[in-house]
Amino acid sequence: RKEVEQDPGPFNVPEGATVAFNCTYSNSASQSFFWYRQDCRKEPKLLMSVYSSGNEDGRFTAQLNRASQYISLLIRDSKLSDSATYLCAVNEGRGSTLGRLYFGRGTQLTVWP
Amino acid sequence: DAGVTQSPTHLIKTRGQQVTLRCSPKSGHDTVSWYQQALGQGPQFIFQYYEEEERQRGNFPDRFSGHQFPNYSSELNVNALLLGDSALYLCASSLDRVQEKLFFGSGTQLSVL
């Protein structure tokens, strides 16, 4: 079983749409959660960290559900520039794996005009 | 302030050959991690270097080895290349080994023919 699972998509949405991605993780003791954005074959860039209370950054909202072991990312008012692959990442926070991220395979988003 | 730099950007090798990839961490960072990202997959953790020692290792064979130098830069070596080693190799640096916020380099695209 993979540590982190994501629906690979693709998601194709029009400009202005709201789109949501989910990601599940297998280790209930996981400590830290992140969303990264990756443009075609470039490096992943941290989009936002995910906190238990939920957090928002402009059009982006991230949520964590520890009971169900999933994290979500909501993008409102989609822009063409949001087209990318969105990777969720989890840090288990244990001594042997501190600082090590487990990534999902990514969800591809295409926003069309 | 230079970010994480990797070299070369692209590399073509044949099966059985050996390859060395290089990484310079972001200024002030002392920990380097290497990830392998196959096409359509998320990055997979290879290993982490801190204080010139391998601190953690993912599920990769001994053909994958590394080194960290006193200036915190790092090398990834892969021996006896297989076709399946074709991937984007990403270097990530962090402030210390428990820091979860990773800064990625733009990667080395390795093709094994």
Instruction: Identify residues of A whose CB sits under 8 angstroms from chain B CBs.
Output: 4, 6, 8, 32, 34, 41-46, 49, 87, 89, 91, 96-106
Q: For residue range B9-28, what is the model confidence (pLDDT) as tens digits? A: 999 999 999 999 999 999 98
Query: Please, where are the H alpha helices in chain B?
Result: none
pLDDT surpassing 70 at residue B99: no
- How far apart CA A20 and CA A87 sit, in angstroms, is 13
**From residue B48, how far is each of A60, A111, B20, B35, B51 by CA, in Å?**
31, 36, 16, 9, 10
Flag whether pLDDT at A88 surpasses 90: yes
pLDDT for position B1: 61
The two beta strands, B108-112 and B10-13, are parallel
**Per-residue pLDDT tens for A19-77?**
999 999 998 888 889 999 999 979 999 999 898 888 999 999 999 999 999 999 999 99
Identify the band that residue B2 occupies on the pLDDT scale cut at 50, 70 and 90: confident
Q: How far is CA A51 from the centre of its chain?
A: 12
- Encoded amino acid at B104, one letter: F
CA distance B94 to B23: 13
Give the chain B residue whose CA is nearest to the CA of A49. B101
Residue B8, pLDDT > 60, answer yes
Mind telling me how many Å the CA of A22 is from chain B's nearest CA?
15
B44 contacts in A (CB within 8 Å)?
A: 103
- What's residue A94's pLDDT? 63
- The β-bridge partners of A99 are none
- Other Cβ atoms within 10 Å of A6 Cβ, number: 21
Give me the pLDDT at residue A7, please.
Answer: 86
pLDDT reported for residue B97: 62
